[in-house]
Structure 1
Amino acid sequence: MSQHLKIKNAYRLFLVIIGTIGLMVNTQFQASSLLYYTTLSNLLCLLYFAYLLIVKKGEKANFKGAVTLAITVTMLIYWCILAPYSFNVHGFTEYFGALMVHLFVPLMVILDWVFFDEKGRFSKKAPIFWLAIPLTYYAFTVIAATFKVVYPLTNTHYPYYFIDSNMYGWPTVFRNVIVLTLFFLILGYGFYRLDKKLGKK
């Protein structure tokens, strides 16, 4: 086994450990935590990197890009939209758990792509398909709201205030979703362009 591969596997094992601890601390083993995008995106990363460590093959660049964008969405939504206005964290344990799932894991996934992935393999249309994960989650929230599912952190039928149609109305929510979708599409193509640029080197 090459030194590079040993370092990559050690890094990914550490990522899985950090991700597991982060989910345990942040969710407190509550099943209702699976209703939130943060939990699901972190769980996706945990399962994906655990799979790579166990199987040691089958790493697909475009799917890795989808995983990377999905967890980047978690980080940016939290720090740019949620935390400044609703930073409801109490005590060291909650603060530590929030940092793990909203900062440490996202940054480690991005850095894994930077340091260990072969560059230049993203397809041109990949960033469009990467939006499937956050958009599927939004569709889930709309369906859940029709069945009056209550999210414990907000005590409403929506997990995040900026998609709460009961609070702001559908026109405002659709505007928010469209703006965020365009932003993450641009971000995805930013990953794509950087990947191509690094691939040429």
Structure 2
Amino acid sequence: MKQKFTLKNTYRFLLVVLGTIGLMINTELQLHSLLYYTTLSNLLCLVYFAYLISTKKVETGNFKGAVTLAITVTMLIYWLILAPYSFNVHGAFEMTGALSVHLFLPLAVILDWIFFDQKGQFTKKAPVYWLAIPLSYYAFTVVAATLKVVYPLTNTHYPYYFIDSNMYGWTRVFINVIFLTLFFLVLGYGFYRLDKKLGQNK
């Protein structure tokens, strides 16, 4: 048991250190990077795991599921929607940063849940609550657009084209948001079902 605890915390320490370096490379420490879901979800994971390490807390609750889903959203949105149209990184340095925040850290968080968390702890309604993080970010983008905030990477009032009401209109954006919400709700319940199944196998 002691060996497993040591392995878990070593893994999480490396996750935080390497994830922090990757985030610093990707954002170049620009303050405006905090406007983007990618940065915020990565930062959430790093702060959360740093907290777990510092308190030696054994996390088995629903909040771990919320963090895991939040960073999974980052990975899937990037690779399924954004990357095919905007994969414009240049050089190994930028590539390292992009892969870190969009692939390496998300996979590391998912693997942490698979290998180190006690299973069978998620409640049935938890996946619904997990949607609060991505939906809160969308609400933030609507408020920011109303205040005429400009996102440097797109030079528009929206961070991502698929929620840009100026480009597509509110009806299309509403449909996009509903579709993505349902998709990630299904994904959340996928985590829930897997959690239950792995818990029963122990």
* TM-score between both structures, scaled by the size of structure 1: 0.98
Identical columns (%): 77
Quote how far apart the aligned CAs of 1:194 are. 0.4
The reply to whether residue 117 of structure 1 matches residue 80 of structure 2 is: no
Residue by residue, what CA displacement relative to the aligned partner does 1:77-102 show, whole Å, maximum 9, x if unpaired? 00000000111211111111000000
Amino acid at match of 1:104: F
Aligned residue in 2 for 1:189: 189
Q: Aligned Cα RMSD in Å?
A: 0.9
Quote how far apart the aligned CAs of 1:60 are. 4.5
Aligned residue in 1 for 2:6: 6
Aligned residue in 2 for 1:132: 132
Aligned residue in 1 for 2:39: 39
Aligned residue in 1 for 2:179: 179
Residue by residue, what CA displacement relative to the aligned partner does 1:107-163 show, whole Å, maximum 9, x if unpaired? 000000000000000000000000000000000000000000000000000000000
Quote how far apart the aligned CAs of 1:37 are. 0.2
Q: Runs in 1 of length 4+ with deviation above 2 angstroms? A: none
Amino acid at match of 2:54: I
8 Å CA contact 2:19–2:46 kept in 1: the answer is yes
Aligned residue in 1 for 2:55: 55
| Partner Cα separation in structure 1 for residue 83 and residue 96 of structure 2 | 14
SS of 2:157's partner is coil
Amino acid at match of 1:73: V
* TM-score between both structures, scaled by the size of structure 2: 0.98
Amino acid at match of 2:169: G
Amino acid at match of 1:77: I
Aligned length: 201
| Partner Cα separation in structure 1 for residue 32 and residue 60 of structure 2 | 31
Aligned residue in 2 for 1:85: 85
SS of 2:181's partner is helix
Aligned residue in 1 for 2:145: 145
Amino acid at match of 2:92: F
| Partner Cα separation in structure 2 for residue 182 and residue 63 of structure 1 | 20
Quote how far apart the aligned CAs of 1:18 are. 1.4
Residue by residue, what CA displacement relative to the aligned partner does 1:20-68 show, whole Å, maximum 9, x if unpaired? 0011000001000000000000000000000000011262520000000
| Partner Cα separation in structure 2 for residue 96 and residue 42 of structure 1 | 15
8 Å CA contact 2:73–2:184 kept in 1: the answer is yes
Aligned residue in 1 for 2:163: 163
Amino acid at match of 2:162: F
